[in-house]
Amino acid sequence: MTTERFILNGKYLVDPTRHVVKDLTQEEEVRLETRVMTLLCILAEHADQLVTREMLVKTIWNDYGGADEALTQSVSHLRKVLQDTSRTIIETIPKKGYVLHASVAAPANPSGSLPIPRRANQLNKSGLLYTLTIALVSGVACWFFFNRSTDRRLVSHSTAVPFWKVNQSVDETNLNTILP
C-alpha cells in the first residue's frame, strides 16, 4: 500500500498517512478507518484493473471470517465518500471483485494542498498584524498600570509604637491599646 498522497479524478486529495480524503472542490475532509483507506489505496494502485475479493480479504483482513461482509461495507462507504451514486467509479464485478475507474495522479505541489490565493494570503497577514498590534498595546498598557509608582493616597501606612508609650490604665494593658 502506498503512503504517498495522490489525487483521484482531479477532485479528491487522498492522504494515506492521515487517513483523510479531501474534496478539493468543496474543501471538505472525510477521515477513513484504516482498513477502508487501505482498500482505497490498493484499488488506486491497480486502477482500471480487476482486484479480486480474495486478494482484498487476504491482504486487508488477513482471511478473517466476517471479512467478506466488511469488504462490501467498506466499498459502500468509499462510494459515499467519492459521491459514486451511479457506481461508475468503483465497479463491482459480481463474485470476482472490484475495478476502480479513476485517474490517479501525484499532487501538483509537494504539500499536496491547493495554493493559497494571493488575496487570502494578504488578508491573513493583515489580520496577524492587527492582532499583534492589539497585543502589544494591551501589554504596554498593563505594564504601565501595574508598574507605575504607587499612589501615596491609596497606600495605608502602619506605625510601630514602643511599649513604653502605651497607656497603662486599669482597663487597658500594654498588649491591647496603643496611643498615637
Q: CATH no. for residue 64? A: 1.10.10.10
Q: What is the pLDDT along the chain (180 residues), one digit of tens a residue?
A: 667 899 999 999 999 999 999 999 888 999 999 999 999 999 999 999 999 999 999 999 988 788 889 999 999 999 999 999 999 999 999 999 999 999 999 887 655 444 444 444 444 566 777 777 887 887 777 766 767 655 545 555 555 555 555 555 555 555 555 655
In a domain, 115, yes or no: no
Q: Which amino acid is at 167?
A: N
Does the residue 107 lie in any domain?
no
Structural domain includes residue 70: yes
Q: What is the DSSP letter of 170?
A: S
Residue 111: CB atoms within 10 Å: 9
CA 100 to chain centre: 30
pLDDT at 14: 93
Number of domains in the chain: 1
Q: Does residue 151 lie in a domain region? A: no
Q: Is residue 92 one of the residues assigned to a domain?
A: yes
Which is nearest to 28 in space by CA: 72, 80, 91, 106? 80
**Any domain includes 163:** no
pLDDT tens-digit readout, 6-54: 999 999 999 999 999 999 988 899 999 999 999 999 999 999 999 999 9
Range of the domain at 15: 6-102
Q: Which residues of 70-150 form beta strands (DSSP E)?
A: 90-93, 97-100, 104-105
Question: Which residues sit opposite 25 in a β-bridge?
Answer: none
Query: pLDDT value at position 148?
Result: 64
Any domain includes 21: yes
Residue with cell 497603662: 168
